[in-house]
């Protein structure tokens, strides 16, 4: 008989950051999801919300998702579509897909543990290594700290790096990117990320001035949900546009791609609803001839990149991987050496969080005793 989902339990986790991402972002929120099947096997996944939404995500998992999933086949691809259809009334993306990811990842982990295979091998390994680039949440850094960070990226062996822009004063961005380019030299790639801070007119002006620093891409120049503005901006500029960390469904990715608004998509495997939809978005990008670089979550993104056709850059945010933050209770499923990342052989996702990180301030989940 096919194993079914017998039990779903959640655990709130708060992970202190080594380097604050801003005045209000000093830790990360994770909802760990454990799924047990009717044979007694267990898999672990997680939902991830850097600053807000963790309580809402957990509530969605504990109630609507658990109520729907229990008794159904314990297989990620078989569950994802009917679950999304069931939840769609409450929203097609955002909290909905972030919460769905916790269960989807847990089911993939369960399948990998049952088979004794890494996530990469379970999906279908295509590469032994992938290229990583240095990244940082650094718009608030003073110039000397930013320059020091760029120097560390060079010393680490990265061939490409990404820096935040979007200061109220464009001259500050120009000064900072000029300083980073000087540290990098002319032979390393340089990307910028505006995190949706510009209007169309601001973006056109800023990119025009910053393009002299030989930019590989500009990321999230505009509000992520403003497709017409992205289409117009892409018409006005020469620098490639990257976006996707705040696009939540395959349908929205298709709209941006088909409108010619984006050169490289950056799906976040948690925000889009898990590994199942991430792979569909990767297939869509490949079919349309658009580049793809997974967003954040090094331990998960790297494993997925190794299972995709073609070459895909993987983001390595300084001091922000789960391993670097001391959040894991076992060796990391990936290892970075210089500018490359590889797997370490952990079965399933290989991502289990330390019991010491439980957020004691959160309420007990009603599903934990079911």
Nearest to 263 by CA among 303, 301, 235, 283: 235
Under CATH, to which class is 121-343 assigned? alpha beta
- The pLDDT, as a whole number, for residue 1 is 74
- The pLDDT, as a whole number, for residue 368 is 45
- The pLDDT, as a whole number, for residue 336 is 96
- The pLDDT, as a whole number, for residue 361 is 58
**pTM value > 0.85:** yes
Q: 27-37 and 42-49 as β-strands: parallel, antiparallel, unpaired?
A: antiparallel
- The pLDDT, as a whole number, for residue 357 is 87
- The pLDDT, as a whole number, for residue 51 is 82
pLDDT digits (tens, 9 = 90+) for 84-135: 999 999 899 999 999 999 999 999 999 999 999 999 999 999 999 999 999 9
Instruction: Give me 167's structure tokens.
Output: 């200061």
For residues 93 and 288, give the distance between their C-alpha atoms in angstroms, rounded to a whole number. Answer: 23
- The pLDDT, as a whole number, for residue 23 is 81
- The pLDDT, as a whole number, for residue 356 is 87
Pick out the chain residues at pLDDT < 50: 363, 365-370
- The pLDDT, as a whole number, for residue 367 is 47
Angle at 197 between CA 279 and CA 321, to 5 degrees: 45
Residues 256 and 243: beta-carbon distance below 8 Å: yes
86 belongs to the catalytic site: no
Domain with CATH 3.20.20.120 in the chain: 121-343
Does the domain at 5-115 match CATH 3.30.390.10? Answer given as: yes
Instruction: Kindly name the residue from 60, 162, 248, 295 that is annotated as catalytic.
Output: 295
- The pLDDT, as a whole number, for residue 312 is 96
Domain with CATH 3.30.390.10 in the chain: 5-115
Instruction: List 336's β-bridge partners, or say none.
Output: 341
- Phi then psi dihedrals of residue 293, to 5 deg: -140, 115
Q: What is the DSSP string of 298-347?
A: HHHHHHHHTTSSS---EEEETT-STTTTT-BSS--SEEEETTEEEE---S
Instruction: Kindly name the residue from 60, 164, 230, 312 that is annotated as catalytic.
Output: 164
How many Cβ atoms sit within 10 Å of the Cβ of residue 114?
A: 17
Task: Give the residue ranges of DSSP H helices in the chain.
Answer: 54-60, 66-69, 76-87, 95-115, 119-123, 143-156, 170-184, 200-210, 227-236, 250-258, 275-288, 298-305
295 belongs to the catalytic site: yes
């Amino acid at each position: 008989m096919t194993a079914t989902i017998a039990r779903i339990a959640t655990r709130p986790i708060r992970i202190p950051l080594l380097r604050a991402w801003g005045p209000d972002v000093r830790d990360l929120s994770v909802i760990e999801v454990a799924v047990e099947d009717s044979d007694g096997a267990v898999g672990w996944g997680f939902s991830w919300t850097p600053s807000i939404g963790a309580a809402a995500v957990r509530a969605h998992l504990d109630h609507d998702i658990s109520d729907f999933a229990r008794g159904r086949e314990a297989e990620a691809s078989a569950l994802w579509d009917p679950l999304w259809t069931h939840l769609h009334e409450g929203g097609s993306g955002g909290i909905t897909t972030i919460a769905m990811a916790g269960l989807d990842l847990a089911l993939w982990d369960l399948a990998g543990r049952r088979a004794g295979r890494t996530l990469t091998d379970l999906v279908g390994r295509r590469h032994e290594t992938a290229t990583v680039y240095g990244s940082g949440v650094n718009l608030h850094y003073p110039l000397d700290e930013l320059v020091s960070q760029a120097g560390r990226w060079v010393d680490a062996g990265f061939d490409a790096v990404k820096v935040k822009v979007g200061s109220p004063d464009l001259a500050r961005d120009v000064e900072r990117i000029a300083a980073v380019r000087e540290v990098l030299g002319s032979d390393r790639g340089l990307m910028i990320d505006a995190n949706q801070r510009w209007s169309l007119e601001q973006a056109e002006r800023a990119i025009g001035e910053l393009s002299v620093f030989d930019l590989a891409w500009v990321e999230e120049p505009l509000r992520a949900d403003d497709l017409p503005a992205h289409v117009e901006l892409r018409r006005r500029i020469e620098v490639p546009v990257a976006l996707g960390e705040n696009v939540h469904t395959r349908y929205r990715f298709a709209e941006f791609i088909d409108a010619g608004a984006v050169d490289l998509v950056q799906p976040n495997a948690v925000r889009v609803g898990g590994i199942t939809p991430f792979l569909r978005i990767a297939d869509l990008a490949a079919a349309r001839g658009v580049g793809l670089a997974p967003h954040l979550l090094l331990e998960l993104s790297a494993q997925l990149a190794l299972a995709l056709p073609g070459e895909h850059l993987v983001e390595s945010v300084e001091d922000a991987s789960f391993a670097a933050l001391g959040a894991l209770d076992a060796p990391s499923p990936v290892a970075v050496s210089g500018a490359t990342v590889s797997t370490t052989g952990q079965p399933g996702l290989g991502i289990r969080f330390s019991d010491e990180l439980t957020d004691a301030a959160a309420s007990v989940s009603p599903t934990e005793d079911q």
